[in-house]
Structure 1
Amino acid sequence: MMNKKTKGFILSIAAIGVLAGCSANADSDELPDKITLDYAYYSPTSLVLKEQGLVEEALADEGVEVEWVLSQGSNKALEFLNSRSVDFGSTAGAAALIAKSNGSPIESVYLYAKPEWTALVAAEGSDIQSVEDLAGKKVAATLGTDPYIFLLRALEEAGLSSEDVEIVNLQHPDGANALSSGQVDAWAGLDPHMARAELDTGAELFYRNADFNTYGTLNVRSDFAEDYPELVETVIEQYEIAREWTIENPDEAAAILSEEADMNIEVAKASVARNDFSNPVIGSEHTEALIAAGEVLRNEEVIDADADVESLVDELLNPSFTESLGSE
């Protein structure tokens, strides 16, 4: 069962999803004057895309302006999508699934990374050495994001649930600060903040499981994808340039992250290194990963108990834009 704070969060996201679904579609007779993309420290390719002005260059002849908005977490990216503040939002796949289950009219159209961007983190010298040790403890997590979902899956694997811990809802950087100051006992971390905590404060990643990290997905509103498929294709083409450049230039990509996020270069390198950028194509493995995450979310009542998880995943993932792309 969910605690009251979690339930309140989910209800607010549900309301946003319904409002977004009631919004009118854009006029598809001509291209919009402006498109808005998010960038995120947890998506190094989005930083490369922004830094190199790739989308701006690709749309210059079309007269389409490009605007950028910073997403501090999947929850913020989804809020921006639902409120039409952005047209493209970067999230974890499972976070997008929660939004989809609550009526958010979005589609995942591209994979920007297969990351190991989250783990459960304790302060240096902590007595917490396993997930079982979290029983009765305070754990910081950003509700609706991959670290939060990672925490739920880890708890279930250990025979626990969200009712066995006190989840403190904090944005990712605030969770890191709360851990270092002793306000919480553990933190469901997210890179690059997690890498910074490791290197700067000696924080320990006491539970890691790469398979519990869902993929990094680029999402668009369904009406935008229907009205402007050529713009979606153009943005993905530029993401591909950024992805290939990041693979070939990991140190330079880390330098961009370091500058954007105002962090030590070694922290940025560690964060970039925990991403696999080799496959942008949405396929069966991503469907399976999201279904597995969705089952846990349904058990925890984050997703409605009667929800058809497989259908939700099928409605969320739109592989048509990546079908022509080859994996390396």
Structure 2
Amino acid sequence: MKPLRIGFGLLLAAVMSTAAASAQELQKLSIVIFGKPSLGAFLPPVIKAQKLDEKNGLSIDFEERPPDAYTAQFNSGEFQVGGSAALLTVGLADLRGVKVTYLFNLFDYWGTVVTSRPDIKSVKDLEGKDLAAAKGTTNYVMFDWFARQLGVDTSKLSVVNTATPGLVGYALADRATAVQLWEPAYAALHAKKPDIRTLDLKIQESWQKATGSRSIPYLGVAAHLDWAQKHKDLIPKLYAAYKEAGEWTVAHPDEAAKLIMPKGNDADHKAIANLIRAKERLGMNIRAAADVGKEIKSVYAAGKSIAFLPSMPSDATIYRGPVQ
């Protein structure tokens, strides 16, 4: 019996040693993201629940922040990696002297305007009316561009500026003529008020006419340039974790919805699952920044054309290193 006990003990020690070594091999990474509900917080719970970070040699700590705190803490370098990186915000940071780079895209642009007022038939009808919006967001800036393509004088919109979480409340209470918002807020709103109407922005039509492309890079993962240069080995692992999370989410929409909105009810989960299935509205498009470099520059040009960006950001904002 004694040799058997010794053998079992050695085996157990070996297993524990291997497990400890594996744990030590995981590279710790802290990423700041917007709080729920947001596109930046869409895939992180899937990554953690499915342990896709560990599968790819990482141990990721996702830190949720409201938009203003996110921007301040990412731009200051308190967080070196940001997972709610709106592309125009990255470009603006660069122009203000913050050396950052867009590693890879997660979602293409989609936004809409909703109204309960029967007399509002198009975005043009909003001239001279009040519009609730989160005016400082990239999504609103892109809406401004698309509205102008439809001949809207956006200076005639009376914008009621509110924080992103307040947009659904404005729409539910009909406190403004219309509300500009995006996903996943739209899915949550539609679940609670299915009769609300959307105003067509003709997004794909206008973008293709202006740029020749249907892809509109919008939100992804960015990092400080010096971090990206020092940690080139981690970027493919990070990309793989997000890519696998996206594939799993699309393949398991009902299960993913419960992870994405853990405190939601059945109606909330159904709305998120339907959003995942509604590929155009979700716009998931996980691509290396270098693969959509032309489209990124088109987004910059759109931001510049409406004076959100004072000039074109540097090429360094488009990460050219390997992500796969």
Q: Same fold (TM over 0.5)?
A: yes
The residue aligned with 1:52 is 50
The residue aligned with 1:207 is 200
Q: Are residues 318 and 222 of structure 1, via their aligned partners in 2, closer, same or farther at CA, if it must alter by over 3 Å?
A: same
The residue aligned with 2:229 is 226
Counterpart of 1:315 in structure 2: which amino acid?
Answer: A
Q: How many angstroms does 1:186 deviate by?
A: 1.7
Contact 1:38-1:86 within 8 A present in 2 as well: yes
SS for the counterpart of 2:175 is coil
User: Which structure has the bigger radius of gyration?
Assistant: 2
Contact 2:105-2:217 within 8 A present in 1 as well: no
Distance 2:283 2:50 in 1: 21
Counterpart of 2:31 in structure 1: which amino acid?
Answer: L
Distance 2:263 2:95 in 1: 33
Distance 1:78 1:199 in 2: 30
The residue aligned with 1:24 is none
The residue aligned with 1:70 is 64
Q: How many angstroms does 1:241 deviate by?
A: 2.2
Q: Equivalences for 1:173-192 in 2 at 5 Å?
A: 173-192=165-184
Contact 2:117-2:177 within 8 A present in 1 as well: no
Distance 1:109 1:72 in 2: 22
Q: Percent identity?
A: 18
Q: Are residues 82 and 93 of structure 1, via their aligned partners in 2, closer, same or farther at CA, if it must alter by over 3 Å?
A: same
Contact 2:290-2:319 within 8 A present in 1 as well: no
Gaps of 5+ in 2: 1-24, 208-215
Q: Equivalences for 1:284-295 in 2 at 5 Å?
A: 286-295=292-301
Q: How many angstroms does 1:193 deviate by?
A: 1.0
Q: Are residues 115 and 32 of structure 1, via their aligned partners in 2, closer, same or farther at CA, if it must alter by over 3 Å?
A: same
**Deviation sequence 1:137-172 (CA, Å, 0-9, x none):** 222222342321232112311333442112232222
Q: Are residues 32 and 138 of structure 1, via their aligned partners in 2, closer, same or farther at CA, if it must alter by over 3 Å?
A: farther
Q: Are residues 321 and 171 of structure 1, via their aligned partners in 2, closer, same or farther at CA, if it must alter by over 3 Å?
A: farther
Contact 1:119-1:150 within 8 A present in 2 as well: no
Gaps of 5+ in 1: 1-30
Counterpart of 1:207 in structure 2: which amino acid?
Answer: D
Q: How many angstroms does 1:271 deviate by?
A: 2.8
Counterpart of 2:288 in structure 1: which amino acid?
Answer: V
Q: Say which of 273, 284, 289 aligns to 1:282.
A: 289
Count of residue pairs the alignment pairs up: 280
> Does residue 1:121 correspond to 2:121, yes or no?
no
Q: Say which of 258, 272, 290 aligns to 2:261.
A: 258
Contact 1:106-1:219 within 8 A present in 2 as well: yes
Counterpart of 2:30 in structure 1: which amino acid?
Answer: T
Q: How many angstroms does 1:269 deviate by?
A: 1.7
Contact 1:139-1:186 within 8 A present in 2 as well: yes
Q: Say which of 72, 75, 78 aligns to 1:79.
A: 72
Q: How many angstroms does 1:219 deviate by?
A: 0.7
Larger mean CA deviation between 291-300 and 221-230 belongs to 291-300
Contact 1:113-1:279 within 8 A present in 2 as well: yes
Q: Say which of 86, 92, 100 aligns to 1:92.
A: 86
SS for the counterpart of 1:259 is coil
SS for the counterpart of 1:47 is helix
Larger mean CA deviation between 100-109 and 47-56 belongs to 47-56
The residue aligned with 2:245 is 242
Counterpart of 1:49 in structure 2: which amino acid?
Answer: I
Contact 1:138-1:186 within 8 A present in 2 as well: yes
Counterpart of 1:267 in structure 2: which amino acid?
Answer: A
Q: Are residues 278 and 152 of structure 1, via their aligned partners in 2, closer, same or farther at CA, if it must alter by over 3 Å?
A: closer
Counterpart of 1:137 in structure 2: which amino acid?
Answer: K
RMSD: 2.9
Q: How many angstroms does 1:225 deviate by?
A: 0.6
